[in-house]
């Protein structure tokens, strides 16, 4: 077992692949772009690494996303040392650049879509992928607080209710057209101070440790890099601040990728928990509201930021 693991790593393309997939998850098509190699060559290397349980696959409908796997204890033990050495010596800078280009491509797809469909969005979303009703349970998780940040505020659907729950509400969205719709909805002399800011969920235009509550409603399935977004939610939260995320349970509606610019066909609880953990957040509550024949199921999670003191201990 040890020998076959070492043999599978003794190849420069496979080392590059593992280093890439340790930092993110990508489809074969995306990996061919990052490595600038043909698909059959990339697939051959992936299969070998899968057989050794160095990589695993996350299925999303008919698409497969590859990522580093934590199931091979020897690999888990030796990889950090190898990775540090590679980072100093060989791990090509171009791979990092190419990974960033893929994230940018994913992000642009969603941004272009929302810029194009902003004025018809509210009707479109209800018509194409209606969710089971969950607003009441979502608002149960949002207790009155000082500073609330809504990430992916969209057309500002939730703002009329949020203004009664916080002293200041900052709504961030990467689509200028969606923000323009939200601006029409809000009244400047309402019961709380509202600010709308153009920004991206993995680089939020919000000060570190300034938010009591971060709300992310039906936005995560558009995240180019969900793990990075979780770290950003944690960054802007005060110690013991709370993030509330509502999104889709895993589904098979492949067409949502084209018709709604969805990047992810819902989320498994295990993946959410890994991202929370890596971001220094712990799960306080997780509930599912199951779908029906014509309505998509939803999860609502609530997570708390660990105190900085607890993390550094």
Ligand X SMILES: C[S@@+](CC[C@H](N)C(=O)[O-])C[C@H]1O[C@@H](n2cnc3c(N)ncnc32)[C@H](O)[C@@H]1O
Size of the site for ligand X (CB under 6 A): 20
By the rule CB under 6 A, 24 interacts with ligand X: no
CB under 6 A: which stretch of 66-74, 140-148, 151-159, 278-286 binds ligand X?
Answer: 151-159
**Residue that has been written with the tokens 């070492």 in this structure:** 6
By the rule CB under 6 A, 174 interacts with ligand X: yes
Measured from the CB atom, is 152 or 266 closer to ligand X?
A: 152
Query: Helix 2-9 crosses helix 73-88 at what angle (to 10 degrees)?
Result: 30
The residue within the footprint of ligand X, chosen from 154, 227, 241, 266 (CB under 6 A), is 154
Q: Cα dist. 143→212, 242, 244 in Å?
A: 10, 10, 11
By the rule CB under 6 A, 8 interacts with ligand X: no
The residue within the footprint of ligand X, chosen from 16, 23, 107, 228 (CB under 6 A), is 107
Residue 218 Cβ vs ligand X, minimum distance, rounded to whole Å:
4
Region 250-309 residues binding ligand X, contact defined as CB under 6 A: none
CB under 6 A: which stretch of 65-73, 148-156, 189-197, 275-283 binds ligand X?
Answer: 148-156
Instruction: For residue 59, count other CB atoms closer than 10 A to its CB.
Output: 11
- Is 234 in contact with 280 (CB distance < 8 Å)? yes
Residue 75 Cβ vs ligand X, minimum distance, rounded to whole Å:
32
By the rule CB under 6 A, 219 interacts with ligand X: yes
Tokens of 250: 């895993």
Q: How far apart are CA 263 and CA 60, in angstroms?
A: 10
Q: How far apart are CA 162 and CA 177, in angstroms?
A: 21
Residue 103 Cβ vs ligand X, minimum distance, rounded to whole Å:
10
By the rule CB under 6 A, 214 interacts with ligand X: no
By the rule CB under 6 A, 114 interacts with ligand X: yes
By the rule CB under 6 A, 178 interacts with ligand X: yes
Cite the beta strand spans of 182-231 per DSSP E.
Answer: 193-198, 211-217
CB under 6 A: which stretch of 95-103, 136-144, 218-226, 250-258 binds ligand X?
Answer: 218-226
Residue 289 Cβ vs ligand X, minimum distance, rounded to whole Å:
15
- Is 275 in contact with 307 (CB distance < 8 Å)? no
By the rule CB under 6 A, 247 interacts with ligand X: no
Instruction: For residue 55, count other CB atoms closer than 10 A to its CB.
Output: 25
Residue 154 Cβ vs ligand X, minimum distance, rounded to whole Å:
2
By the rule CB under 6 A, 175 interacts with ligand X: yes
Q: How far apart are CA 145 and CA 148, in angstroms?
A: 7
Q: How far apart are CA 145 and CA 173, in angstroms?
A: 21
- Is 148 in contact with 168 (CB distance < 8 Å)? yes
Going by C-alpha positions, the residue among 283, 132, 130, 300 that lies closest to residue 215 is 300
Measured from the CB atom, is 42 or 216 closer to ligand X?
A: 216
Which residue sits closest to ligand X, CB atoms considered? 154
SS3 labels along 229-280:
HHHHHHHHEEEEEEEEEEEECCCCCCCHHHHCCCCCCCCCHHHHHHHHHHHC
Residues forming beta bridges with residue 60, ordered by sequence position: 63
The residue within the footprint of ligand X, chosen from 21, 34, 46, 158 (CB under 6 A), is 158
Tokens of 181: 């719709």
Measured from the CB atom, is 248 or 276 closer to ligand X?
A: 248
Measured from the CB atom, is 42 or 201 closer to ligand X?
A: 201
Which stretches of the chain bind ligand X, using CB under 6 A?
A: 107, 110, 114, 125, 152-154, 157-158, 173-175, 178, 200-201, 217-219, 222-223
């Amino acid at each position: 077992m040890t020998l076959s693991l070492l043999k599978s790593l003794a190849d420069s393309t496979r080392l590059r692949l593992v280093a890439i997939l340790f930092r993110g998850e990508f489809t074969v098509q995306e990996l061919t772009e990052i490595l600038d190699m043909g698909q059959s060559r990339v697939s051959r290397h992936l299969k070998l690494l899968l057989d050794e349980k160095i990589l695993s696959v996350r299925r999303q409908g008919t698409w497969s996303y590859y990522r580093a796997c934590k199931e091979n204890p020897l690999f888990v033990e030796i990889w950090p040392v190898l990775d540090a050495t590679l980072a100093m010596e060989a791990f090509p800078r171009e791979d990092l650049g190419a990974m960033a280009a893929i994230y940018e491509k994913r992000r642009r797809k969603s941004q272009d879509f929302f810029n194009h469909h902003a004025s018809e969005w509210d009707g479109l979303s209800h018509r194409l992928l209606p969710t089971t009703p969950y607003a009441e349970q979502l608002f149960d998780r949002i207790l009155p607080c000082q500073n609330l940040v809504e990430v992916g505020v969209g057309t500002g659907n939730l703002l009329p209710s949020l203004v009664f729950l916080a002293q200041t509400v900052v709504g961030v969205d990467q689509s200028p057209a969606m923000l323009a719709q939200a601006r029409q909805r809000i009244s400047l002399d309402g019961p709380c101070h509202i600010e709308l800011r153009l920004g991206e969920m993995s680089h939020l235009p919000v000060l570190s440790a300034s938010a009591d509550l971060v709300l992310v409603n039906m936005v995560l399935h558009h995240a180019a890099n969900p793990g990075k977004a979780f770290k950003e939610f944690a960054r802007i939260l005060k110690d013991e601040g709370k993030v509330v995320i509502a999104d889709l349970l895993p589904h098979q509606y492949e067409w949502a990728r084209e018709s709604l610019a969805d990047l992810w066909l819902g989320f498994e609880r295990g993946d959410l928990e890994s991202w929370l953990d890596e971001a220094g957040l712990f799960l306080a509550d997780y509930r599912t509201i199951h779908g029906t024949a014509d309505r998509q199921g939803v999860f609502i999670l609530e997570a708390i930021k660990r105190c900085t003191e607890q993390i550094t201990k």
